[in-house]
Chains A and B, each alone.
Chain A
Amino acid sequence: MTEARPVVEGANHTVAAADGYEPVIGLEIHVQLSTRTKMFCGCEIRFGERPNTHTCPVCLGLPGALPVVNERAVIFAAMIGLAFGSDVARRSLFHRKNYFYPDSPKGYQISQYDEPLCRGGRLGDVRIHRVHLEEDAAKLEHISASGRIHGSERSVVDFNRCGTPLVEIVTEPDLRTPEQAREWLTLLRATLRALGVSDVDMSQGSLRVDANVSVRRAGSRELGTKTELKNMNSFRFLERGLRAEIDRQLGVVRAGLTVEQETLHFDPASGRLTTLRSKEEAHDYRYFPEPDLMPLEVGDELLQAARSAIPELPAQRAARFEHDLGLSAGRARELAFRGELGDYFERVVAAADAAPAPELANWIPLLVERIGSDTDPAGSRVAPEGLAALAAMVSRRELSRDAARTVLSRMVEIGGDPSSLAEREGLLALPGGDGQLAELVERAIAQDPGAAEQVRANNMKAIGPLVGYVMRETKGRADGGEVRRLILERLAPH
């Protein structure tokens, strides 16, 4: 660990800087597969249990133990490749990647090297370079007051995680901004979740992201020297880490210096980037074909099993929401990229008779706001039929928008059907024709003659306080549009 560099505060975070530099970002994503057992042995994959309770001679790297490929992991990896439209190789190879570290019990990791399982393909706007299978390392804990390696009194190893199947996804350098990287990762996560091949939980380490970052003159086709940013464990840290590194590199090239190839770590707490390894310290992993395993053959049967296990994917679903149901592109992605929201929304659409789908879609974020963004709405008290009924009441003008939001809050709290809730709470819309609204309009004008005068003089901004008065008096039950119409009718008769 060498010196830390402070992040340049308040620097320019936009795509191509004014002086014509553009960042280029490629990602390397490690995904833990949610198979029942490990990549090369029969140990069950369990987290959060007592250390070293899910181990065997194979995943402990005992003398004489040999790996056997988990076919389920191969199917999962093939599903990921097929979802990207990659070429799934009928024959690929496992290699040994040699390095000494206590988290690597054999002294090498079994990984894929120059003949990976999948090549090519794309997800969204980003081309996929390759997808390959490997095994996870054990977990090291450093026991010391500071929690840092340096100065720690001792380190202990937990092999429960060791040998968990990992898929490494490498993108082409097609991303240009930290925001774009974050959004693309959201799509990737939704896709992997829809495939059901991983928990894709960054905080638990089942999705880990490294980024390759470089800067170049906008329009140049050559890539600048890249640095590798290691293991950012949340979408927010990823975005911040990328920003910090892009700013650092822009600073370097603007000062007329050259970026050095190195591996960096971003510390979200301090916002600092630290060098993990310089180019000179780069490992020679001495890859060679794993002699304990035969070449990985993917037959028709396995490929068919993988293909038939692929459901509709988020990108396809977003396109369907947009083109078939008329949602805005943004709303379509918002619902499709969180599978459980998309599922819930489809149930609402199925239950609705009158309200148009875009109208129904607008209610989902309002519901999410009330139940919390981590909760699956299907587990809330609000049944899809209830939400559909609520939307229908609004479109039939039986309930004002404001009142409907109040009803929704009550539904989240106690459940139940919106029309009886609205009635019980006295929130049903006041119909414009029954004279009660007209009377309130009269009172509003009497209350604020100044505003009334301005509306007469065609200053429409002044209508706000008048509408507001009526809405307050009716506790939001009045239909704002109707109130506005009545005020104008009264003050500006044509």
Chain B
Amino acid sequence: MTAALVQLTAAQAGARVRARELDPRELFEAYRQRAATDELNAFTWVAEAPAAAGPSPADAPLGGVPVAVKDLFCTEGVPSQAGSRILEGYRPPYSATVVERLTRAGAPLLGKTNQDEFAMGSSTENSGFGPARNPWDRARVPGGSSGGSAAAVAAGLAPWAIGTDTGGSIRQPAALCGVVGFKPTYGACSRYGMIAFASSLDQAGPLTRDVTDAALLFGQMVGRDPRDSTSLKFPEPVRLPHADSLRGFRLGIPEELTGTEGGVEPGVRDAFDRSLELAEKLGAAIEPCRLPHAPHALSAYYLIAPAEASANLARFDGVRYGLRVDGEADLLTMYSRTRAAGFGLEVKRRIMLGTYALSSGYYEAYYGTAQKVRTRIAQDLHAVFERFDLIATPTSPWTAFELGAKLGDPLQMYLNDFCTVPMSLAGIPAISIPCGLSDGLPVGFQLAGPAFSENRLFEAAFALERAIGYDGSPARG
């Protein structure tokens, strides 16, 4: 029974609950047990039971289908540690807006998922609570930073999950684990209660088994929040996709982000090309296009994001919450000892980078220039969307790599975001769907569109997903 239950997509399970054919408590318990016996280190905390608050599942839009939530979303009374030892055991007094919305829509909290510390990483190896594993091959990483969410959905430990994407942190782990990952338009979902990495880039989004689940979950996350000044009213209702063709879609293929000379593995490129052929058969008009500034996106990103992070992480000072390592009566010593003990290597590296980039005398050369590059990239994309409805790239240049393979080489690790960072800098929506396997490991196909083109994006991804016919069940064994 349990095995059959977890084969259902979230939308299917929710529909059965709403039709009174499935007891939501049974559904919750099935997943709770799987999550509690997680061998992937995908979870950092698992609920005992659905929270008492919340609507009657059978009458709620999400039908009582439990959701796994990335650790960095604040959840009232529940450990919210952002993958960091500096917040070990921290239980916030309030919940993130997105979590509240999902609870109200009938998706109770299943558990908190592992992540790279403060979302800084592409492998979940930077977690203060040990790395998460990829269900396709446990010697390999699940990607990151939302690696716990991606692994949990891929392995059927959770029906669906939410994560955050700053430079690719939803899309890349979704690609490496063979699930759908969607990064919305910047501002579509409230950031209130998300422990910040880089405020101008962070965005919450779903990780799901298919595109329908992504649209369904996103539809309940979206909306202007008076507590987040950068959130926006979504201009139209979010629709569940139904398209069975891509007729009328003009699809641009940016040369700069797809060439093997840019580091895309041949196996990844092959799977990508096969999907493009399918798209063409579905009626899409496919043409190459140019994003001349895209190759500089990674450099700009690794100045802007650490600069913002250096300020965002200043609050972890041992004064009010989280870890404190006392100094001998000296404030500065307490600060340095606390932060030295609480932050991991990558976090320290980025705080140093960001602090340097903002320092007097360097600001214009680094932060200022990076912002100009960011503007150029947004202009490039804007120009491309004059001619194309969407663009497509591989999500990640490669498939899941072995644990430790890139840990000693930060620049190699940063290249994980090569294809995903331009969309983050421009604030536009992008989705990664599984498009097949390369050497037995999943490959991600990324589609991106102009701001607020979510509905179009879901339609295209849905049609393509059906044509690809990807079967993720090996990972859910």
Measured CB to CB, the residues of A under 8 A from B are 57, 60-69, 96, 98, 100, 102, 105-108, 157, 284, 286-288, 291-294
Whether B314 is near chain A, meaning CB under 8 Å from some CB there, is yes
Give Cα A60–Cα B194 distance, bound, in whole angstroms.
15
Which one of B73, B200, B311, B360 lies within 8 Å of A284 (CB-CB)?
A: B360
Q: Which residues of B contact A68 (CB under 8 A)?
A: 226-229
A-B contact pairs, 17 of them (CB 8 A): A57-B94, A63-B80, A63-B82, A64-B72, A66-B191, A66-B228, A66-B229, A100-B314, A100-B317, A105-B315, A105-B319, A286-B310, A288-B358, A291-B199, A291-B200, A293-B230, A294-B229
- In the bound assembly, the distance between CA atoms of A62 and B358 in angstroms comes to 23
Q: In the bound complex, do residue B315 and residue A106 qualify as a contact, i.e. CB atoms below 8 Å apart?
A: yes
CB-defined interface of B109-140 with A at 8 Å, one 1/0 digit per residue?
00000000000000000000000000000000
Is the beta-carbon distance between A107 and B314 smaller than 8 angstroms?
A: yes
Contacts A291-B200, A292-B199 given; does A64 touch B92 at CB 8 Å: yes
Which residues of B are in contact with A by a Cβ distance under 8 Å? 72-74, 80, 82, 87, 90, 92-94, 96, 191-196, 198-200, 226-230, 307-308, 310-311, 313-317, 319-321, 331, 335, 355, 358-360, 363, 367
Q: State the Cβ distance, B353 to closest chain A Cβ, in Å.
A: 13
- Check if B319 sits within 8 Å of A288, measured CB to CB: no
Nearest residue (CB) in B for A159 is B320
- CB contact under 8 A between A284 and B199, given known A57-B93, A98-B314, A102-B331: no
Contact assessment for A96 and B320 in the assembled complex, using a CB-CB cutoff below 8 Å: no
Residues of chain A lying within 8 A (CB to CB) of residue B72: 64
Question: A68–B192 Cα gap in the complex (Å)?
Answer: 11
Q: Closest residue of chain B to A62, judged by CB? A: B92
- Cα distance A98–B363 in the bound complex, in angstroms: 14
Query: Are A294 and B230 in touch, CB under 8 angstroms?
Result: yes
> CB-CB < 8 A to B320: which residues of A?
60-62, 105
**Does B367 lie within 8 Å of A66, measured CB to CB?**
no
B93: nearest residue on chain A (CB-CB)? A57
Residue contact B194 to A64, C-beta cutoff 8 Å: yes
- Most chain B CB within 10 A, of A69, A100, A157, A288, is at A288
How far does the Cβ of A54 sit from chain B's closest Cβ, in whole Å? Answer: 15
Which 8 A-B pairs have CB atoms at the shortest separation, nearest pair first? A107-B314, A291-B199, A286-B358, A291-B200, A64-B193, A63-B195, A64-B74, A61-B315
Nearest-Cβ distance from residue A144 to partner chain B, whole angstroms: 11
**A106 and B193 within 8 A (CB):** no
Quote the shortest CB–CB distance from B236 to chain A (angstroms). 22
Which residues of A sit under 8 angstroms from B311, Cβ to Cβ?
Answer: 96, 98, 106-108, 286, 288
CA distance A41 to B364 in the complex (A): 32
Residues in B neighbouring A64, C-beta threshold 8 A = 72-74, 80, 92, 96, 192-196
Cα A438 to Cα B308 in complex, Å, equals: 92
Contact with A63, one of B87, B199, B228, B230 (Cβ below 8 angstroms):
B87
Residues of A within 8 A of B90 (CB): 63
Given contacts A63-B74, A102-B319, A288-B367, contact A108 B314 (CB under 8 A): yes
Given contacts A64-B74, A291-B308, A293-B230, could you give 15 more A-B pairs where the C-beta distance is less than 8 Å? A62-B92, A62-B94, A63-B196, A64-B92, A64-B96, A69-B229, A98-B310, A98-B311, A100-B314, A107-B313, A107-B317, A286-B310, A286-B311, A292-B196, A293-B229
A66 / chain B contacts, CB cutoff of 8 Å: 191-192, 227-229
* CA of A293 to CA of B187, assembled, Å: 12
Distance A75 CA – B2 CA, assembled complex (angstroms) = 60
B96 to chain A, nearest CB (A): 6
Known: A62-B321, A63-B80, A63-B82. A288 touches B314 (CB 8 A): no
- B-chain residues with CB within 8 Å of residue A63 when the two chains form the complex: 74, 80, 82, 87, 90, 92, 195-196, 315-316, 321
| Closest CB in chain A relative to B16 CB, distance in Å | 34
Residue on A with the closest CB to B314?
A: A107
The CA-CA distance from A286 to B357 in the complex, in Å, is 9
Chain B minimum-CB-distance residue to A103? B319
For B310, the chain A residues whose CB sits under 8 A away are 98, 286
Chain B residue numbers with a CB within 8 Å of A102 are 317, 319, 331
Is A286 a contact partner of B359 (Cβ separation < 8 A)?
Answer: yes
How long is the Cα–Cα vector from A450 to B363 in the complex, in angstroms? 89
A397–B320 Cα distance when bound, in Å, is 72
